[in-house]
Amino acid sequence: MATHRESRAIARSAEEMFDIVADVERYPEFVPLIREARIFNRVADSYETEQSLALGLLTHRFRTRTELIRPHGITVVSGDQAFCRFDIRWQFASLGEDCCHVDFTLDCESASLFLIPVIQLLVLPMATSMVDAFEARAHALAVDAGRREASPAP
């Protein structure tokens, strides 16, 4: 079983952080180990995704279901047969106009002894860097937005 919990204040609004975490198809651009993420079914405040984690030649493809509760929380679960349990929870609480408190929890348990190394080599390292990756993404997007606002229109 793998469990990782992290909590911190981030100098971005809860809405901004929610939008970045909800934009799963962009994960390969900035989340370590995620090579692919594709939404294949979207309904109201939820979607189903196929994702691929990779470390060297070791790759694991799995599906998840994401529930969105704007702007307070995002829950990601997987019924993939590789897992007994796969549960990610993000919670966002406003700390003012441009700051929020982010809580991240990942609980994962393999259904197979064969997949325990996959969890140890792929899922746990990814989990320990998740909040850092999303915080860095939020700041990079803010810098890019500032550059666009500062550039004169052609």
**144 occurs within a structural domain:** yes
Please report the pLDDT score of residue 12 as a whole number. 94
Residue 149: its pLDDT value, please?
65
Q: How many other CB atoms sit within 10 Å of the CB of residue 102?
A: 23
Count of domains for the chain: 1
3-state secondary structure of 114: helix
The predicted structure's pLDDT at residue 61: 87
- Residue 40 covered by a domain: yes
Contacts of 63 (CB under 8 A, 6+ apart): 48, 49, 50, 51, 78, 79, 80
Q: Is 101 within a domain?
A: yes
Q: Please give the pLDDT value at position 97.
A: 85
CA–CA separation, 30 and 131 (whole Å): 11
Give residue 32's domain range: 2-148
Q: Where are the beta strands (DSSP E) in the chain?
A: 2-10, 34-43, 46-55, 58-69, 73-77, 83-94, 100-110
Does the residue 61 lie in any domain?
A: yes
Q: What is the CATH number of the domain that holds 64?
A: 3.30.530.20
Residue 130 falls within a domain, yes or no?
Answer: yes
Classify each residue of 5-15 as buried b or exposed e, where b means 16 or more C-beta atoms within 10 Å of its C-beta: eeeeebebbbe
Q: Tell me the average confidence (pLDDT) per consecutive run of 10 residues in the chain, 154 residues long.
A: 87 96 96 92 96 78 94 93 87 94 89 64 71 93 75 57
Q: Looking at the domain assignment, is residue 154 inside a domain?
A: no
pTM of the model: 0.86
Quick check: is 99 in a domain? yes
Is residue 153 assigned to a domain? Answer: no
Nearest to 7 by CA among 117, 90, 81: 90
